[in-house]
Amino acid sequence: MFSIRNRQLVVTVPLPRLPRSGGIRRWVPWIAAAVLAYVLLGVAVFVFVAWPLLTLRGALSTSRRQVVMAAAIRGDVAPARRTLMDAVSALQQFRGRLVWLSPWQAIPGVSAHLRYVRQVSGLGSEGLGFARSLLDDAEPILAPLSPSGFTMAEPQRREILAAVETQLPALQRRWDELGQFRRRVSAVSIAGISTRLQRLHGEILSRLERADTGVRQGLNFLELGLPLLGYPTPHRFLILLQNNAELRPTGGFIGSYALLTVDAGAVTEFTVDDVYRLDSAAKGKLSVAPPQPLRDFNQTSEWFLRDSNWSPHFPDAARQAIWFFHREGGRGNVDSVVALTPTVAADLLAVVGPLTIDGLEVTAETLTDILESQVGREFAVQGLPLADRKAVMGRLAAELLAAMGRVPDRMQLATALARVLQENLEERQLLIFSNLPDVQRGLSLRRWAGEVQSTAGDYLMVVDANLGSLKTDPWIDRSLEYRLRSQDHAGKPCALAATDCRLVAQTAVTYRNKATLNWKTTRYRTYQRLYVPSGATLVQVTGNQYHVTTNNELGKTVFETFLVIEPGGSATITYAYQLPESVRAYVQRVRYELLVQKQPGTPGTSFRGDFVIGDHQFQREVDLRIDRSITEVLP
């Protein structure tokens, strides 16, 4: 018998009255039949309740999503709307039928699963509503794409960029809502449900996290991208091609440069040239004295564009590059400066696939070797003049742009390019400076500007400049060990609150040169700078080969020296220094914080830290693929 009580379905199964004594075995079949009927009815009801999920699964299938995306990049959002309507209808039907499972919730474990399904299905309805709102916000941007997809004339491009500018606030709100939605899903209790359902819940959270990251990346590029895409006015870039096989402070030696102008998303100018062509024309005319280390250890008598990136603070280096570009005869305005290493080009090749340049197949793995061989010695074999030895880089860049234009799946290409740009900006293989204040502030907020960061706590950054070591840096293994102790003036451990307690740091930098003597690699000659908190006092240095000087720049104290590491050899230089009182007071008042910044252009240098502050001890081991922040709340 069926009845509804308190908005729940109640099933009553009448059983025959059992006899008071004897003959109970006659009723066992009746009891078994009743239990079986109860189970079979439960299975039937479950199938009835779950049937709409098949429709929902079809609406959200990979093949359906591909159809929707293909239509969307042509400006047709109708398939997306139909898909969302199907999904909403199926989920509503499923939620309406959940009441039919109420009679079985007394079975052990069923109650927890029903509670979970009700919560998740409710959040699913909310998520589909969010998707519909996002589609409404994106439609004005997608609509002008019809019917030509990503290939469009200037009026279409300007219409789309104008729509992006208009819709950005709404898209930002959607991202905030997505973050809130993800937190609500994360808060759903999974206690008592099956392991399989727990794994499914984890997969849902992972997908939401990826979606959140994707939306954030997209918004980051959209917010900064409009001016950089040449909207509403054309934007001109000076691109510094830095070779991180010959490391310099902002990523590598500037062997070539490019000029790129973008107008409403279209490239209207793109040239690549050897930096020596520009520098040679200015020789004897500028007479600019180079930084002293370039004079002392590289026999550099004049300063040119190729050495302009001496400051590790990229905004300063970029302004210096613009200054040299114009003084050496470079024409036209420069709105922004981009510095990139071959690592970026290799990552782009991994997206578009191998290219054929001058009969050679260039892949992400062979790019650096082929370029160095062509520029270093093959040009002479081919009979090219010295001034044209880097022309291959221009052909490679042009072919790379053309290959991007040939990728059939434009949405997949855009997603992959966004990922490559994001990763290389975070890993400081790609740096951007803009003369537009709003854009520069946005770059700085996202830490994409290649800045030496200001900190209230502890700080560490090692900066190397390869001076006359050919292309040896890929063969150099670097490691960094940091040791921090709270000590009194007698060198004994102390509590930070003690009057004479201070923080004493020790940084050891180790180099291992795995290179051999050949046309491309040699002994490693580096001018090293160690940036530490302003006001730090050098106590002792061991392992130095040349005199160590102390300077102040970029709001930091800097210890500087020169090192030479022979092929097959190694060297460790260790600095001991006392941190300033301001850092000790900050640690005592707030917490311990150490920002370790990586030098642009370097791979993931290993870092190991050992910290003893008062009675508290902790260790950290990280790689410096990106900047790392180490924090510890002291008891």
Give 221-270 pLDDT, tens digit per residue: 788 889 999 999 999 999 999 999 999 999 999 999 999 999 998 899 99
Q: Would you place residue 336 in the very low, low, confident or very high pLDDT band (cuts 50, 70, 90)?
A: very high
pLDDT single digits (tens) 178-194: 889 889 888 988 888 88
DSSP for 506-529, written as a single string = EEEEEEEE---SSSSB--EEEEEE
Question: Region 569-579: what's the mean pLDDT?
Answer: 98
β-pair type (266-274, 336-340): unpaired
Closest C-alpha to 117, from 102, 128, 131 = 102
Greatest mean pLDDT among 72-81, 276-285, 510-519: 510-519
Q: Is the pLDDT of residue 20 over 90?
A: no
Which of the pair, 442 or 68, is modelled with greater confidence? 442
Alpha helices in 19-109 (DSSP H): 28-59, 62-72, 78-97
* Contact of 519 with 555, CB cutoff 8 Å: no
Which DSSP state fits 626? S
Q: Is the pLDDT of residue 7 over 60?
A: no
**pLDDT for 453:** 97
Q: Is the pLDDT of residue 400 over 80?
A: yes
Q: 235-445: which CATH number, 3.40.630, 1.25.40, 3.40.1800, 2.60.40? A: 3.40.630
pLDDT single digits (tens) 479-533: 999 999 999 999 999 999 998 999 999 999 999 999 999 999 999 999 999 999 9
Closest C-alpha to 65, from 51, 92, 84, 52 = 84
**pLDDT for 307:** 98
C-alpha radius of gyration, the chain, whole number: 32
**pLDDT for 588:** 94
Which of the pair, 553 or 405, is modelled with greater confidence? 553
**pLDDT for 261:** 97
**Distance between CA atoms of residues 586 and 29, nearest Å:** 79
Q: What dihedral angle (degrees, nearest 10) is formed by the CA atoms of 172, 177, 183, 184?
A: 180
List the chain domain ranges: 26-228, 235-445, 458-632
**pLDDT for 470:** 96
**Distance between CA atoms of residues 269 and 401, nearest Å:** 13
Q: Is the pLDDT of residue 298 over 60?
A: yes
**pLDDT for 104:** 67
Q: Is the pLDDT of residue 131 over 70?
A: yes
**pLDDT for 42:** 53
Q: Both tokens of residue 172? A: 């930002």
Element (H, E) at 259: strand 253-263
**Distance between CA atoms of residues 411 and 133, nearest Å:** 21
Which of the pair, 529 or 146, is modelled with greater confidence? 529
**pLDDT for 153:** 78
Q: Would you place residue 326 in the very low, low, confident or very high pLDDT band (cuts 50, 70, 90)?
A: very high
Judging by beta carbons within 10 Å of its beta carbon (0-12, 13-18, 19+), is residue 352 exposed, middle or buried? buried
Question: Region 74-88: what's the mean pLDDT?
Answer: 80
Q: Is the pLDDT of residue 16 over 60?
A: no
The residues pairing with 263 across neighbouring beta strands, listed in sequence order, are 266
Question: Region 383-401: what's the mean pLDDT?
Answer: 81
- Residue 492 contacts by C-beta under 8 Å, 6 or more apart in sequence? none
**pLDDT for 223:** 82
The residue length of the chain stands at 635
* Contact of 442 with 242, CB cutoff 8 Å: no
Q: Both tokens of residue 205? A: 């959270």
Q: Is the pLDDT of residue 295 over 60?
A: yes
Question: Which of 90-104, 283-297, 576-590 is predicted least confidently?
Answer: 90-104
Q: Would you place residue 40 in the very low, low, confident or very high pLDDT band (cuts 50, 70, 90)?
A: low
Q: Is the pLDDT of residue 595 over 60?
A: yes
Q: Would you place residue 346 in the very low, low, confident or very high pLDDT band (cuts 50, 70, 90)?
A: very high
- Residue 605 contacts by C-beta under 8 Å, 6 or more apart in sequence? 462, 478, 479, 480, 598, 623, 624
Closest C-alpha to 167, from 132, 137, 190 = 137
> What share of the chain has pLDDT > 90, as a percent?
54
In which order are the strands placed within the sheet that holds 430-434?
A: 266-274, 253-263, 235-243, 336-340, 430-434
Burial 238-261 (b: 16+ CB within 10 A, else e): bbbbbbbbbbbbbbbbbbbbbbbb
Q: Would you place residue 404 in the very low, low, confident or very high pLDDT band (cuts 50, 70, 90)?
A: confident
* Contact of 575 with 559, CB cutoff 8 Å: yes
**Distance between CA atoms of residues 277 and 367, nearest Å:** 24
Q: Would you place residue 450 in the very low, low, confident or very high pLDDT band (cuts 50, 70, 90)?
A: very high
The maximal CA–CA distance of the chain, rounded, in angstroms, is: 120
Which DSSP state fits 449? S
**Distance between CA atoms of residues 90 and 51, nearest Å:** 9
Q: Would you place residue 471 in the very low, low, confident or very high pLDDT band (cuts 50, 70, 90)?
A: very high
Beta-carbon count within 10 A of 419 CB: 15
pLDDT single digits (tens) 91-114: 788 788 777 777 767 777 778 878
* Contact of 527 with 297, CB cutoff 8 Å: yes
Half-sphere exposure of 65 (CA within 13 A, CB side): 7
**Distance between CA atoms of residues 400 and 633, nearest Å:** 49
Beta-carbon count within 10 A of 19 CB: 10
* Contact of 607 with 621, CB cutoff 8 Å: yes
Q: Would you place residue 407 in the very low, low, confident or very high pLDDT band (cuts 50, 70, 90)?
A: confident
Question: Region 147-173: what's the mean pLDDT?
Answer: 79
Question: Region 387-393: what's the mean pLDDT?
Answer: 79
pTM of the model as a whole: 0.83
Half-sphere exposure of 400 (CA within 13 A, CB side): 21
**pLDDT for 36:** 60
Beta-carbon count within 10 A of 64 CB: 18
**pLDDT for 200:** 81
**pLDDT for 520:** 94
Q: Both tokens of residue 357? A: 């340049």
DSSP for 367-416, written as a single string = HHHHHHHIIIIIHHHTT--GGGTTHHHHHHHHHHHHHHHH-S-HHHHHHH
Rounded to the nearest integer, the mean pLDDT of the chain is 87
Element (H, E) at 128: helix 110-142
Which of the pair, 299 or 143, is modelled with greater confidence? 299
Q: Would you place residue 418 in the very low, low, confident or very high pLDDT band (cuts 50, 70, 90)?
A: confident
**pLDDT for 551:** 97
- Residue 589 contacts by C-beta under 8 Å, 6 or more apart in sequence? none
Alpha helices in 143-186 (DSSP H): 154-186
Cα 81 from chain centre? 32
* Cis amide bond preceding 232, omega within 30: yes
Q: Would you place residue 589 in the very low, low, confident or very high pLDDT band (cuts 50, 70, 90)?
A: very high
